[in-house]
Structure 1
Amino acid sequence: MKNKIITKIVSTIVVCFILVAIIVGGVSIIKSTQVIKSEAIDKLLNIASSKGNEYSIQPAKMENTVSELSKAILQSIDVSKINDTNYMNKYENNIGLLMKSLGENNKNIVDLYINFDPKFTGGHETYDIGYEYDDVKNQGNVKFNLYTLADYKKGDSKMSWYYDPIKLRKGLWSKPYVDSLRNINVISYTAPIYLNNVLVGVVGADMSFEDLKSLILNTRVYDTGRAFLLSSDYTFIVDKSITSKYNLGTMNGGKYKNVISKIKNNKSSVIEINFEGQKMLFAYYTAYNGQIVGIIVPSKEVLKSLNNTIYTILGAIIIGIIFSTVAALCMGKRISKPIEVATDFITKMAKLDLTKNDCSNLNIIISNKNEIGIMGGSLELLRKELLETVQTIKQHSTEIVQYLDCMAVSSSQTTSSIAVITKTINELAKGTREQVDKIQNSFSKLNLLASDIEKSVLSISNLGKYSKEMKKMQGQGCESIEVLNENLNKNDKISKNLGDNIDKLCKKSNLIGEIMSTINSIAEQTNLLALNASIESSRAGESGKGFAVVADEIKKLADSSLDETRKIGKILNEIQEEIALNKDNMDEAKITGKEVNKSMVLCMKSFQFIGKSNSNTMLQIEDLECNINEVNESKDHLIRSNEEISTIIEKSSSSTEEVAAIMEEQESAVENVVESIEKINTLAVTLDGIVQRFKIV
């Protein structure tokens, strides 16, 4: 049972912990995945935004420089004098100084220029101003009028920087290209200038792209993640592995068109895509100039910390399972130990073993301040009450056996006395019959009285002897009846004591019944308590299942207690039935004793009457002896005397027969008493056998 309960407790706790661990671990992994992925997305987005903003700083400055130059031109030019060559030359010098100042304030600008539209200046001459920064000399120079009218051709690709912004009526950024003079990558920004919706010219600036390129190429994300730069038409500008001839929208048969749609809809975001044969997280940021700074990194690198977290959670779950198993074993032993002790104790009592061997564990249970402690105390109280009851029954059953033995001896003595009395009465009856025969012979030989006087004297002498013997037997009969009466009185007292003991035994058995009712009540309350615990554990849900198992075991223990108490109750009912039967037999024995006492009184009176009659006979015989010599003279008197003697003897014979009949009835009554004693003795032996089944030492 112990192993079964421990197995259930350990299994329940471990299963519950595993379920909780799976739920918590699963939720933790899901939440960790979401958090880590969210953090990774935020991190990538921050990197992309940071790099995009950093990348946008210099282009923004260059746009501001171009914008300042455009505003300065619009604010300073006198349209009425643009056809004046002297004015334009002077104006160019002033603008050149401004451009030099602007260029020197922005060290990243390598070229700053303004080309006035030939139509705006009259179409006869060209005016253009150019500032360039010499890296060798570390200074800037301003040059004027480097273009001719022949250079301004719309179809000329070399002049696309001039006509493209005019066509779109907005500033444009060029793709990076190699400056042939400096042999470096540069990027250009050109914007048209309009005054009252009339084209004034195109302002532009070139800046080194090397630092921006290094900014992109030197960006490292996780282990193998990298940054790249796309143009506004999604062509690769800068990337470690993809050249500028590739466009994101046309790569792999237009596989990334959905990515382009998302880029168009959002300035910055993070997208999960399959790129270069593996899952990638693609973060992008649209820069100030419309170019896109992208960050791409393998998803497995981003979720590397997640894997570590998952391994940590799984390790914690395994450790928790081991710990919960150990804790469940300890808890199971602690819970099952009291149940095991209580079960062993109840099993021991069910086997009628009431000894107090190995009760230390039960004392530990009793010391508990809970239902198990109450149950242990009730079991110990039951053991003590049963022990006291069994000891009382055993003591009284021993006394009953002793009393029955005394009654058996008394009955045996009474039977012997009655046998002696019966024998004496039979002899007395025999003598009486002989006297009757002799008297009858005396009547028949009355005429021969003279000749037979000697025989008559002899007969009278014999009659005297017989009378003396009869008197002696009558005395013995009285003594026997007195002894029998004393024994019957003792038997009556013993029967009364036996009845009192049986009444006490009946009360004790009823007390045991009350104790059994109390135990049944405790078991039913324990069963009800287990039911309430099961209901509360079901309300508690998953966390209450371990307790539900414990509550179910307590209910089983309560049911087992009810079964055992029913068995004890059945044995107790058998004992009560035997006691009731003994009590009925004792009542019958009392009634029979009373009838025997009445018969003995009658018998005593009969013997007294016999003694009195015998005394009269003796007196008559003495008179006969005195008057024997007067027989011849008093023949008639002799005949009358003989008649009287015959009458008396007949009466004596009748009384003797009555006494014999009474003695036979007395003997039958004594035999009934003996039979009742034997039955009571059998019941006492049965009761003692039941008591012997209890172990109380």
Structure 2
Amino acid sequence: MERRNKSVGKAVAAMLLILALIPIVVMLLSAYHSTKNLLLQRSANTRESAVKTVLDTRDCMDVSVRKALTTLSAENLFKKQFVLHDIKKKITTAEKENDALYNTIFATSDGKYAATYKTSSAFDPTTQSWYKGAIKNMGHVYWSKMYYDSTSKSNVISISKAVRNSKGQVGVLSFVVLYDDAQEVLNHLNVGRTGNAMLVSNNGVVIAAKDKKMIGKSIAKTMAFKKIKKTSKKSGNITVAGTSPIEKVYYDQGGKESGTVVLAQFKSDELTPELHSLVKSSIVILVIMLIFSLLMTFAFVRVIKRIVNMLSFFFAEAGKGKFEKINPERLKAKNFFERKVNHFVHPHKHGIEPQRLAFEYNSMIDSVGNLIQGVQKEGKKVATMSKSLFELSQQTSSATEEVAKTITGIAEVTGSQADETQKGVTQMRELTDTIQVMHGNVKEMSNKSQESSSMNQENIALTGEVNSNWHAELAKMGELMSGAEKMNDNIQNVNKIIGVINEISHQTNLLALNASIEAASAGEAGKGFAVVAAEIRKLSDETKESTKEIKDIIKTIQKQSAQMVAQTSTSLAGGEKQAKLIKNAIESSQTVYSKGLDILDGIRHIEKASLSIEGIQNTVLGDLENISASTEENSAGAEEVSANSEEVLATMETFTANVAELAKISERLEQNLTKDFKIIE
């Protein structure tokens, strides 16, 4: 079963998805935090506004009752002898005319009084707190603390003022302050969804409240009220330990002489609906953005995989010896998406990364193609030169064989001369003829030796040129193998990057596991996040699989690159072997050339000797002994030359065999380059 190639597509998708989700989550958390702060600020403003509204109403009432008390106490009835009957009429009339006056009473120091309401027989006004406070603050308006009034059977606050008449008598004018207007304002006051505003006396009894159930109750023992009583600030926020920020208590005491304080507070669930709605909206936005990110990530990964697969195909073909350039017109596309993706791998020198990679790949194909074509051309040239050299070596061998035969003939003639020298002068004419024949043969041999020397020189020059061209080709093949090895090193760097991606995937899996645990501990509120965490773990696993697939692809590329390096190395080794053979051929040609020069020198000596013989043929009879000696020397020289010519012949046979082997090697090289490497334009 064929094993599937691994891919980093899933890993890249997971990374892109995480990178897209992080700013979205941060943005949503920031929006949640900002909105919560705005809601808290709105709630704080609502508390302050409610307190200010009630406080303004209370202050208006305080000013009204203070003015009513001051105006009434300034009447002439209270400046002369106190007449309780007249005073009662006056306060009754005033109470009817002014709504601020209620249960008005005037009491003297002897316990007598005039009141607009009924009292018990045992009632003693001098024992009341409003009376004592007014006497203590003579000449000033006094506000009593909240107390229970048996007449109205309710908790009330009294305002009173002590007056002194011209007779020196002291009396106290007082009436009950009703905060009906404040209660009316509170009834229509909007204090959020769960908020409550209250007008509270200094002793902690609620006078008026948005929540009517609190009216008449005491909050003196609450922590918030205790802190308000302890603080020296006129107004501010009070935070009770163990409560949330929304449960802060805002208070304002206004003028402390009024004896009341206004405060407002929200319950802990005041912002719950808004925050729940915000969380739902954030989750909806997160899901929408997640879906959008998934779609964009899927499209991006498909584009990357398409690009990588196309480039891998061309590299694989190059590994097989088919060097095909990336041509936009030959890229296949089944649909609109693939046509658009193909545009990303159009070779362009200054385009995007895949386009530049395709351009560099095509440049590499051009370089490799030029190199292979150059090697093919030089191989053909080497083959042609090898054939020419082989023919020249055969001709040289034939000429050397003729020279050997000629030298053998010279040796025989020289032997005959030695025999005939003993016969005397009668055979001089035959000697002369023989010398002429020998002279002609020597000239012919000299000419052939010169031709052989020229041919050897030409062979050496051709072989040297072949050797230089072959070493240049070997250097180019070495550069090709070095480039392939560098490509293997780059692939190793990709393997390191894949290792880093695997580690990131592992860490992402751990983070997703931790997130799942936290979501499970959060109960119902964490179910949505648990689903996201599970999807992240799934993406992390898919990333791991994709990384394995890419690793397999890279291994395949490495294997193909190694095959190409092995083929190049084999060709390089064969080239080095051929270089050695060419070197041997050059050395053999140089040896033949050297031997040919020796033969030419010997022939020239023979030619000189024959000329000497012709010069002294008239004195042969007188110098017969000298001729005999010279003949013996010529015979010995001829034998030596004959031996040298046999050695030259053997050397030429070896040289011819080497040249034939070189021709076969060049033919095989040409066939291998043509068969294994193809350049597809």
Alignment of 1:539-554 (within 5 A): none
The yes-or-no answer on 1:231 pairing with 2:201 is: yes
Query: For residue 51 of structure 1, what is the amino acid of its counterpart?
Result: V
Once the two structures are superposed, residues 232-258 of structure 1 have per-residue CA deviations (whole angstroms, 9 ceiling, x without a partner) of 3113455658566753234xxxxx235
Measure how far apart 1:395 and its partner are.
0.8
| More moved, 338-347 vs 185-194 | 338-347
Q: What does residue 592 of structure 1 align with?
A: 591
Q: Equivalent of 2:227, from 253, 261, 265?
A: 261
SS in 2 for 1:38: helix
The yes-or-no answer on 1:192 pairing with 2:174 is: no
SS in 2 for 1:300: coil
8 Å contact kept, 2:250–2:263: yes
Q: What does residue 537 of structure 2 align with?
A: none
8 Å contact kept, 2:51–2:262: yes
Alignment of 1:170-189 (within 5 A): 170-172=142-144, 174=146, 187=156, 189=158
Residues 281 and 363 of structure 1, relative CA distance in 2, 3 Å threshold: closer
8 Å contact kept, 2:146–2:203: no
Query: For residue 48 of structure 1, what is the amino acid of its counterpart?
Result: V
Alignment of 1:5-404 (within 5 A): 9-70=12-73, 72-73=74-75, 76=76, 79=79, 81-82=80-81, 95=90, 100=93, 103-104=96-97, 106=98, 108-109=99-100, 111=102, 113-117=104-108, 119=110, 128=114, 130=116, 152=124, 154=126, 162=131, 165-166=134-135, 170-172=142-144, 174=146, 187=156, 189-195=158-164, 200-206=170-176, 212-213=182-183, 215-216=185-186, 221-237=191-207, 246-250=217-221, 256-257=222-223, 259-265=225-231, 266-271=233-238, 280-286=247-253, 289-324=258-293, 326-327=295-296, 354-356=323-325, 364-369=346-351, 377-404=359-386
Measure how far apart 1:386 and its partner are.
3.4
SS in 2 for 1:204: strand
Query: For residue 696 of structure 1, what is the amino acid of its counterpart?
Result: I
Quote the Cα distance in structure 2 between the aligned partners of 1:249 and 1:4.
73
Structure 1 gaps of 5+ residues are: 133-145, 251-255, 444-463, 525-552, 616-642
Q: Equivalent of 1:405, from 383, 387, 390?
A: 387
Alignment of 1:434-445 (within 5 A): none
Quote the Cα distance in structure 1 between the aligned partners of 2:148 and 2:119.
23
Residues 572 and 31 of structure 1, relative CA distance in 2, 3 Å threshold: farther
Once the two structures are superposed, residues 494-519 of structure 1 have per-residue CA deviations (whole angstroms, 9 ceiling, x without a partner) of 54244335435555766888999999
| More moved, 298-307 vs 347-356 | 347-356
Query: For residue 227 of structure 2, what is the amino acid of its counterpart?
Result: S
Measure how far apart 1:383 and its partner are.
3.3
Quote the Cα distance in structure 2 between the aligned partners of 1:688 and 1:208.
122
SS in 2 for 1:301: coil
Structure 2 gaps of 5+ residues are: 332-341, 424-429, 490-549, 615-624
8 Å contact kept, 1:229–1:293: yes
Once the two structures are superposed, residues 378-428 of structure 1 have per-residue CA deviations (whole angstroms, 9 ceiling, x without a partner) of 554443233223312211211211221232244345445655776788799
Residues 207 and 514 of structure 1, relative CA distance in 2, 3 Å threshold: same
Alignment of 1:602-641 (within 5 A): none
Q: Equivalent of 1:669, from 651, 657, 666?
A: 651
SS in 1 for 2:70: helix
Alignment of 1:510-529 (within 5 A): none
Measure how far apart 1:664 and its partner are.
0.5
Q: Which has the larger radius of gyration?
A: 1
8 Å contact kept, 1:425–1:656: yes
Quote the Cα distance in structure 1 between the aligned partners of 2:120 and 2:650.
171
8 Å contact kept, 2:199–2:206: yes
Quote the Cα distance in structure 2 between the aligned partners of 1:438 and 1:494.
43
Residues 229 and 272 of structure 1, relative CA distance in 2, 3 Å threshold: same
Residues 373 and 519 of structure 1, relative CA distance in 2, 3 Å threshold: farther
Residues 427 and 573 of structure 1, relative CA distance in 2, 3 Å threshold: closer
Once the two structures are superposed, residues 35-66 of structure 1 have per-residue CA deviations (whole angstroms, 9 ceiling, x without a partner) of 32232222223223323433554454233322
Q: What does residue 619 of structure 2 align with?
A: none
Quote the Cα distance in structure 2 between the aligned partners of 1:427 and 1:385.
61
Quote the Cα distance in structure 2 between the aligned partners of 1:188 and 1:368.
90
> Kindly, what percent of the aligned residue pairs are identical?
15
Quote the Cα distance in structure 2 between the aligned partners of 1:275 and 1:12.
42
RMSD over aligned Cα atoms: 6.3
Measure how far apart 1:364 and its partner are.
2.4
Query: For residue 262 of structure 1, what is the amino acid of its counterpart?
Result: I
Alignment coverage as a number of residue pairs: 570
Quote the Cα distance in structure 2 between the aligned partners of 1:510 and 1:523.
20
SS in 1 for 2:346: helix
Measure how far apart 1:191 and its partner are.
0.4
Residues 337 and 574 of structure 1, relative CA distance in 2, 3 Å threshold: farther
SS in 2 for 1:399: helix
Quote the Cα distance in structure 2 between the aligned partners of 1:45 and 1:7.
56
8 Å contact kept, 1:114–1:201: no
8 Å contact kept, 1:217–1:238: no
Alignment of 1:439-454 (within 5 A): none
Normalised to the residue count of structure 1, the TM-score between the two structures is 0.60
Measure how far apart 1:668 and its partner are.
2.1
Quote the Cα distance in structure 1 between the aligned partners of 2:150 and 2:115.
22
Quote the Cα distance in structure 1 between the aligned partners of 2:5 and 2:54.
69
Quote the Cα distance in structure 1 between the aligned partners of 2:475 and 2:345.
28
Query: For residue 595 of structure 1, what is the amino acid of its counterpart?
Result: S
Measure how far apart 1:309 and its partner are.
2.8
Residues 487 and 429 of structure 1, relative CA distance in 2, 3 Å threshold: closer
Query: For residue 114 of structure 2, what is the amino acid of its counterpart?
Result: D
Quote the Cα distance in structure 2 between the aligned partners of 1:318 and 1:3.
30
8 Å contact kept, 1:115–1:201: yes
Query: For residue 668 of structure 1, what is the amino acid of its counterpart?
Result: A
Residues 479 and 313 of structure 1, relative CA distance in 2, 3 Å threshold: farther
8 Å contact kept, 2:323–2:677: yes
Q: What does residue 636 of structure 1 align with?
A: none
8 Å contact kept, 1:176–1:185: yes
8 Å contact kept, 1:111–1:207: yes
Query: For residue 368 of structure 1, what is the amino acid of its counterpart?
Result: H
8 Å contact kept, 1:603–1:662: no
Residues 403 and 277 of structure 1, relative CA distance in 2, 3 Å threshold: closer
